[in-house]
Amino acid sequence: MKRVVIFASGSGSNAENLIKFFQNSDNVSVIQILTNNPHAKVLDRAKRLKVSALSFNRVAFTKTNDVLNILKVSNPDLIILAGFLWKFPETILNVFPNKVINIHPALLPKFGGKGMYGMHVHNAVVENKETETGITIHYVNENYDEGATIFQAKCEVFPTDTAEDVAAKIHALEMEHFPKVVEKLLNE
């Protein structure tokens, strides 16, 4: 059985989608949700879906090995960042090489980097009059949104689209593709 740990900072819609996708799988289990936000809605989703969940602070994540030690005990085959907003520490990346992936709501390298998440990305796409956008699933390295690309999916952006319209299109792409890409990675 392949073991998955998900890091999230917010509502957790991608986390819930992944949990539900693998709920009845004989091969993959989402074993834990970790969050840097003790008030994140992802904690409610985890509880409702009966998945272990913990919150942690910046000291536990970057200054001590607390989160790393939790991961060592969990021993995940894959660590998934699903709306997780903090830069991932090299100490964890070194222990889990090529086992940490992220989903980004744009076609990297466009609209990536520090501060580029959620509606910040969608507003930038609309303000720059992009004709297409999409999602990028990529490996995580020591820099924001610079790890090797695993998968991209595109959608059209119309001149009349608002940032909210773009967000809805991106959300649909995430829901459709993220679990399938994770499944494929775990089966390789």
pLDDT of residue 95: 97
H/E element, 152? strand 149-156
Domains of the chain in start order, with CATH, are 2-187 (3.40.50.170)
pLDDT digits (tens, 9 = 90+) for 21-64: 999 999 999 999 999 999 999 999 999 999 999 999 999 999 99
pLDDT of residue 136: 98
Mean per-residue pLDDT for 166-188?
97
Residue 188 has pLDDT above 90, yes or no: no
Residue 4 has pLDDT above 90, yes or no: yes
% of the chain exceeding 70 in pLDDT: 100
CB 17: neighbour CB atoms within 10 A? 18
DSSP output for 16-81: HHHHHHHTT-SSEEEEEEEES-TT-HHHHHHHHTT-EEEE--HIIIIISSHHHHHHHHH--SEEEE
Structure tokens at 38: 């003790």
User: Rounded to the nearest 10 degrees, what angle do helices 118-127 and 163-187 cross at?
Assistant: 120
